[in-house]
Amino acid sequence: MSPLSEQDKKDIRMELDSHIFESMSTRGTEDEIASLLLTLQTLGEPEEFLVQEVAQRKLTQATRTFNPIHITSALLMNMGNGFIHTFKHIAFSLLYLFIFAFSLTSVVKLIVPSRVGYFTDNEGFFHFGISTQIEGKKEVLGFWYVPLSIGIAIVLYLLATLLMRVFNKKPKK
């Protein structure tokens, strides 16, 4: 539970306490120690049953704060939770990789302006980003490439994070 906020840790502890209390009260046995041990045995190892809860709460925190560090952590934590879940988070990871690429190319445009941009050639083909071969190609956007790529990165970042929030909502019980 270490990657979670103190409030999330407290909430999980309260849920566990509530579950243990309810389980022990429904058993109705006179031996409280035996009832507690049976309840804890039924729960299983914390490393197993808490993994998904911690990953889900981290994802909720990431989509609420829009913090890139929290988002990266949440994506990594949620990768191994089943095939579809893993596939979904790999897709989100690729989307964030595109965001990083757009941001990076805008910085590189400031360093090597002739090699980065929106290039077209006489045959109608285009190339967006970093190009090593610029012979016969015309750069169309000039320095407008920088605000455009930063704008695309910001829009993709907000869209990806909001989509992650929508796709990862827990169903109501």
Q: Is the pLDDT of residue 150 over 90?
A: yes
Residue-wise pLDDT tens digits, 105-140: 888 888 888 888 888 887 767 777 777 777 778 888
Beta bridge partners of residue 126, listed in sequence order: 120
Q: What is the pLDDT of residues 26-78, one digit of tens each?
A: 766 667 777 777 777 777 777 777 777 777 777 778 878 878 888 887 777 77
Please give the model's pTM, rounded to 2 decimal places: 0.60
Q: Which of 66, 92, 65 is nearest to 77 (CA)?
A: 92
Q: Where are the alpha helices (DSSP H) in the chain?
A: 6-27, 32-43, 46-49, 51-65, 68-78, 83-111, 145-167
pLDDT attached to residue 171: 53
